Amino acid sequence: MDSLSGRTAFVTGGANGIGLAIACALASWGVSVAVADLDEPALRRAEAELSTVTRARSYRLDVRDRQRYAEVADTVEAELGPVSIVVNNAGILDSVSPARMDHTLWDYVMGVNANGVYNGLQAFVPRMIERGLGGHIVNTASAAGLFVDGQSLLYRSGFLYHASKFAVVGLSESLRVELAHHGIGVSVLCPGPVATDGLDNARRLRPADAPERSAKVETILAAAQNMVRDQGVQPSVVGELVVDAIIHNRPYILTAADNAAPIRARMEALLDAVPTDRLE
């Protein structure tokens, strides 16, 4: 993108953590910013903070609610102007052991992490294409959408979470190809550990009828949250990386140097599985 100044961005999960950091980074470049979240007190704080830098609005939104999403999209564009930067950042870190799997938690995790991204695309991409003014989309996946590392607490996120984030990576890669001729770039954010309270929020928002986590899963998640707080990069760093990716239309945004080894191992395993001769 030649210039960010004067554009309008919409950021889900924008009241805290990575989402707020992205919104702040965009605001510093002269972008008007709309943030959406479920946390109303945090939304008010975020709007107040962003308004000291740029034009800003906040909206309560459950990204699974398609009708509400369409209403918010209309309101954002009426109040701040056409949205040309969409950051589908809202997500939830939750899973369950295979022995306790059920449809409730599958629908919840996929509903937020995968369907929530699609709902953001549906709300804004057709408008962006029709205007013909280009733009950029950032979809937040996770390093857990690139590999599974059973040896590391930080990357043992459970099959539900991995499935939802792999879906976001595939969606982003394919959409990038299909939107290129419209002048719309697509980046997928695959953060490693970031110093946020994401796991605590997951506990607070978990559906009441979801199956209880086993003691083993709870221990893994608690240890992972402690490690994230101690070892995670600051959200502000991620925000700057996202702005850089938007400006330069980078396909991937990663935050952790130690991701290289498991990504390489996965790629090598895939290459080893490719037949050397045509199968008959």
The residues annotated with a catalytic role in the active site are 161
219 CB contacts (<8 Å, ≥6 apart)? none
141 CB contacts (<8 Å, ≥6 apart)? 165, 166, 168, 169, 172, 188, 189, 190
3-state secondary structure the chain: CCCCCCCEEEEECCCCHHHHHHHHHHHCCCCEEEEEECCHHHHHHHHHHHHCCCCEEEEECCCCCHHHHHHHHHHHHHHHCCEEEEEECCCCCCCCCHHHCCHHHHHHHHHHHHHHHHHHHHHHHHHHHHHCCCEEEEEECCHHHCCCCCCCHHHCCCHHHHHHHHHHHHHHHHHHHHHHHHCEEEEEEECCCECCCHHHHHHHHCCCCCCCCCHHHHHHHHHHHHHHHHHCECHHHHHHHHHHHHHHCCCEEECCHHHHHHHHHHHHHHHHHCCCCCCC
Taking the C-alpha atoms of residue 157 and residue 159, their distance in angstroms, rounded to an integer, is 7
